[in-house]
Amino acid sequence: MLTANRSTQTNSSYEETPNRDRPRDLLRSRNARGLNTYTTTPELRQPPSKKLEPAANTHDVGETWSRIRTTKKKKSATVSIAVDFYKVRTMRCKDHFEMREYNIDVLKDEEDSSVYSKGRPYPIYPSKKGLNPDFLRDIISRALKTLPHNLDPIPKDVTQDFGLLCLSDAYIGIHQPKNLNEADLARKRLIFDEFFYLQLGRLFQMLEGLGTKIEKDGLLDKYRKPELSSTIMEEWSCMTKKFVEALPYSLTRSQLNATSEIIWDLKRAVPMNRLLQGDVGCGKTVVAFLACMEVIGSGYQAAFMVPTELLAVQHYENLLHLLEKIKDIHKRPSVALLTGSTPTKQAQFIRKGLQAGDISLVIGTHTLIAEKVEFSALRIAIVDEQHRFGVVQRGRFNSKLYFNSISSKLASTSSKDSQKSDIVMAPHVLAMSATPIPRTLALALYGDMSLTQITDLPPGRTPVETYIIEGNETGFENIYQMMEEELGGGGKVYLVYPVIEQSEQLPQLRAASADLETISRRFPDYNCGLLHGKMKSDEKDEALRRFRAGETNILLSTQVIEIGVDVPDASMMVVMNAERFGIAQLHQLRGRVGRGERKSKCILSASTTTSLNRLKVLGKSSDGFYLANMDLLLRGPGDLLGKKQSGHLPEFPIARLEIDGNILQEAHLAALKVLGESYDLEKFPDLKAELSMRQPLCLLGD
Ligand SMILES: Nc1ncnc2c1ncn2[C@@H]1O[C@H](COP(=O)(O)OP(=O)(O)OP(=O)(O)O)[C@@H](O)[C@H]1O
């Protein structure tokens, strides 16, 4: 008998003897694009509990389970064979139907029942290049008989604490389960291992980089009890407190907590590696400014790196404005702006100032990590929109070492500090991410980073009303009507386009440049501006300045405004051909409005009726964490993170982050427990050996 499975997975999946009255477990499979999707074991009566989201251009017809008799041509003869399609998911794609995610058993004949003879679940192995799965089953079964019982490198108390099978039982359970429960337990153990060694490897490396027992305990405690790793405001530097007083608003509870956690880290002699994340417009920038003030207040320098010049200028102006308001200060921090467009002479001057320590804070683009930019004492590097930079780029700050205290301009206040004065240190790194990613994904991606989340929005914000409209003639008439009302009430409107120029290949896409004239004619009483990535840096600044100042009322833009652009009184956005953007991207774009107290709206104009469905989720929620979770569940981590970032995700042959997040959390705790008992794993030689074998795999992620 031959068993075929379309899945490309390397682990086994299960079929169960049909005709059993029970719900089936979810199995892993990959769809046509190679992405993980759910599939179920055969279920003859009951549909699966989880629904698959159809791809954008498909329509999910549903699942059918049937026994299909089919014929197959063998050389010239036509041989009739029986095939069981246990589960077939059918999708309607424009003008045809497609079968996806199916499991097939080819039987010897209609009466063949050898597969089910044992009456229990059995694995389906991928049968590539004619390799008979029966043959595979046979050799695996023989190998299982030779398994020693004591092959588990993970200490017994850990497996017991976390309710795990021992490794040999897990191997038997995954290949020859007596029932689905046993298969589930085996799967859990194997997934646990994938996560556990990843977490263990990262934490182990971090501990290795620390000198003393106190530092090591401190690091483990920080992960075990993050709530204890924070300062109270009285312990903040005088400069930081004065900056807080100068703010035109009070910090939210989340902003205060985040600042306290960060400042706790800044006071340690161990370089911080922290990720600050929160929803669009939650006020991360001011938290980062406060971290900068803290180090500047103790005589050190700060660097603030952002992905675009537009954002660098905006942060620079915003900071200067806030610094001017600080009262009773004998010396205001000197701040510089350094980007690719800074004139050569000025750039040289700034670099000299940084080297001599005359400039305390520099804001800029990736020019900041150039080798020729040297600092006198760089104590913190902020990396805004960190996923826009590669791992290597982010790491470059680590080479900008400094002597702790020695180069500082201001004397340390306590004698305790001065004892540490000779340590050579890499700067603290605070990475910021505006695309909120679920905690489990963050743990897998950035397991070596501490995580700080801002969970609330500044007061007075009302959720942005979101409309999903088909962009046909009537649709646009409605949109223009809404724009008219908004502009008439003193609002400002962003129009966001997928492309700058009209393209012959994609004539259905509306283009920013081409629409400028149309929109100007349609709204003769208002001024229109244009902003896109191909404009020169000073032209972009000017376009944004005019919009901010109210000299233009409508800004036609591409997605350059997606990141960080902050015009608090912009109150309406229309996204053209919205289906061209990802959910997270649209949420980011929408975050450009509703940043002030004015009630705002966002209109997503879809080119086709079929794309309306996917966009509807944005109409239902304005919570970036929820949307990210939805995206993760529906499309998997690859699509959610985008190509660049997901490239840093480790390989998980069995685990699926979208559903196995709780196992990841447990694995993280287990790794902390093990390392708490033995920092260098000397107490657990088998575990250390296993880790060193898996290390290359573990560290694929970063
Ligand atoms: N506690 C607060 N109260 C009122 N307004 C605030 C508060 N914190 C920040 N803001 C204002 O909220 C707006 C958004 O802040 P900020 O630009 O820091 O958000 P962000 O988290 O960086 O968001 P994004 O990623 O979308 O740029 C700014 O105009 C800022 O001045």
Confidence of residue 588 (pLDDT cuts 50, 70, 90): confident
pLDDT tops 90 at residue 88: no
Between 126 and 321, residue with greater pLDDT: 321
HSE of 431 in the Cβ direction (CA atoms, 13 Å)?
Answer: 24
Give residue 91's pLDDT: 60
Smallest CA separation from ligand 1 atom 3, residue: 458
CA–CA gap between residue 185 and residue 165 (Å, rounded):
7
672-678, long-range: CB within 8 Å, 24+ apart, which pairs? Answer: 672/203, 672/220, 672/223, 672/224, 673/158, 673/161, 674/155, 674/158, 674/200, 675/200, 675/203, 675/204, 675/207, 675/220, 676/220, 676/224
The response to whether residue 285 sits with its C-beta less than 6 Å from ligand 1 reads yes
Give pLDDT tens digits for 237-293: 889 999 999 999 999 999 999 999 899 888 877 788 888 888 888 899 999 999 999
248 C-alpha to center of ligand 1: Å?
12
Give residue 21's pLDDT: 28
pLDDT tops 70 at residue 92: no
Give residue 676's pLDDT: 87
Q: Which whole number is the average pLDDT over 48-57?
A: 38
Query: Are 499 and 534 a contacting pair, CB within 8 Å?
Result: no
HSE of 91 in the Cβ direction (CA atoms, 13 Å)?
Answer: 17
Smallest CA separation from ligand 1 atom 11, residue: 283
163-185: burial string, b at 16+ Cβ within 10 Å, e else: ebbbbebbbbbbbbbeebebbbb
Give residue 41's pLDDT: 28
The response to whether residue 253 sits with its C-beta less than 6 Å from ligand 1 reads no
CA–CA gap between residue 112 and residue 115 (Å, rounded):
8
553 C-alpha to center of ligand 1: Å?
22
ipTM of the complex: 0.97
pLDDT tops 80 at residue 541: yes
Q: Which whole number is the average pLDDT over 448-456?
A: 79
Amino acid at 523: F
**DSSP character string of 285-343:** HHHHHHHHHHHHHTT-EEEEE-SSHHHHHHHHHHHHHHHHT--S-SSPPPEEEE-TTS-
The response to whether residue 259 sits with its C-beta less than 6 Å from ligand 1 reads no
pLDDT tops 80 at residue 51: no
Smallest CA separation from ligand 1 atom 8, residue: 283
When mean pLDDT is compared over 322-336, 415-429, 437-451, the highest value belongs to 322-336
Give residue 654's pLDDT: 82
CA–CA gap between residue 340 and residue 681 (Å, rounded):
47
Q: Which of 608, 568, 611, 569 is nearest to 586 (CA)?
A: 611
Between 273 and 525, residue with greater pLDDT: 525
pLDDT tops 80 at residue 399: no
Smallest CA separation from ligand 1 atom 29, residue: 568
The response to whether residue 278 sits with its C-beta less than 6 Å from ligand 1 reads yes
The response to whether residue 458 sits with its C-beta less than 6 Å from ligand 1 reads yes
pLDDT tops 80 at residue 380: yes
Confidence of residue 212 (pLDDT cuts 50, 70, 90): confident
CA–CA gap between residue 365 and residue 104 (Å, rounded):
54
Give residue 699's pLDDT: 41
Amino acid at 439: R
Which of 249, 321, 589 maximizes ligand 1 atoms within 8 Å of its Cβ, making it the mutation to test the pocket?
Answer: 249
283 C-alpha to center of ligand 1: Å?
3
596 C-alpha to center of ligand 1: Å?
9
Give residue 267's pLDDT: 84
The response to whether residue 552 sits with its C-beta less than 6 Å from ligand 1 reads no
Give pLDDT tens digits for 215-228: 777 777 777 776 66
pLDDT tops 70 at residue 61: no
Query: Are 169 and 186 a contacting pair, CB within 8 Å?
Result: yes
Q: Radius of gyration over alpha carbons of the chain, in Å? A: 29
CA–CA gap between residue 486 and residue 496 (Å, rounded):
16
CA of 255, closest atom in ligand 1: 1
What percent of the chain has a predicted confidence (pLDDT) above 90?
Answer: 28
490 C-alpha to center of ligand 1: Å?
22
Give residue 361's pLDDT: 95
Smallest CA separation from ligand 1 atom 6, residue: 458
CA–CA gap between residue 578 and residue 603 (Å, rounded):
9
Query: Are 690 and 204 a contacting pair, CB within 8 Å?
Result: no
Give residue 162's pLDDT: 92
Parallel/antiparallel/unpaired status of strands 26-30 and 273-278: unpaired
pLDDT tops 60 at residue 4: no
User: Taking all residues of the chain, what is their mean pLDDT, rounded to a whole number?
Assistant: 75
Give residue 182's pLDDT: 87
The response to whether residue 286 sits with its C-beta less than 6 Å from ligand 1 reads yes
pLDDT tops 60 at residue 682: yes
Give residue 702's pLDDT: 35
Give residue 452's pLDDT: 84
Confidence of residue 602 (pLDDT cuts 50, 70, 90): very high
Which of 286, 384, 461, 569 maximizes ligand 1 atoms within 8 Å of its Cβ, making it the mutation to test the pocket?
Answer: 286
Smallest CA separation from ligand 1 atom 14, residue: 281
Q: Please, which residues bridge with residue 361 across strands?
A: 302, 335
Give residue 407's pLDDT: 40
pLDDT tops 70 at residue 595: yes
Lowest-confidence pick of 398-402, 498-502, 538-542, 685-689: 398-402
Give pLDDT tens digits for 616-639: 888 888 888 888 777 666 666 655
Q: Which whole number is the average pLDDT over 676-688?
A: 89
Q: Which whole number is the average pLDDT over 493-507?
A: 87
DSSP 126: -
